[in-house]
Amino acid sequence: MLIAKDPDSELSILRGILAMENPHDDLFFARLGVLRALSQNPTLPVELQAAAINRVSQEEVAARVDSSLKEIQKKSGGAKGSQGFIMFSSDM
């Protein structure tokens, strides 16, 4: 997170952080925090900052949808094979 916030971080490193995958596991919210810190880095070019903000928004929506799908699955008796919501695709 410190690298994502640091205005002196190399742009290539920040791009790599933006491109990292964020699977819905135990570290999901930690990685989301890093993406949020990246979106607030004032030295990012405008287009990368906008992409980071968009990515945070997509990740938050995906988490809410996934949570809702899991809740629906519990209420319906837990059908096997349900994977939940995977994610939106994003091009950089």
Question: In the chain, what are the domain boundaries?
Answer: 2-74
To the nearest whole percent, how much of the chain has pLDDT over 90?
48
Residue 15 has pLDDT above 60, yes or no: yes
pLDDT given at position 69: 82
**CB-based contact 42:28 (threshold 8 Å):** no
Rg from Cα positions in the chain = 15
**Between 37 and 87, where is the model more confident?**
37
Return the structure tokens found at 10: 């190399």
SS3 45: coil
Angle formed by the axes of helices 11-19 and 28-39, nearest 10°? 140
Residue 78 has pLDDT above 70, yes or no: no
Quick one: 77 exposed, middle or buried, by C-beta within 10 A (0-12, 13-18, 19+)? exposed
- The more confidently predicted of residues 16 and 90 is 16
pLDDT for 19 equals 92
> pTM here?
0.70
Q: Which residues contact 45 (CB under 8 A, 6 or more apart)?
A: 11
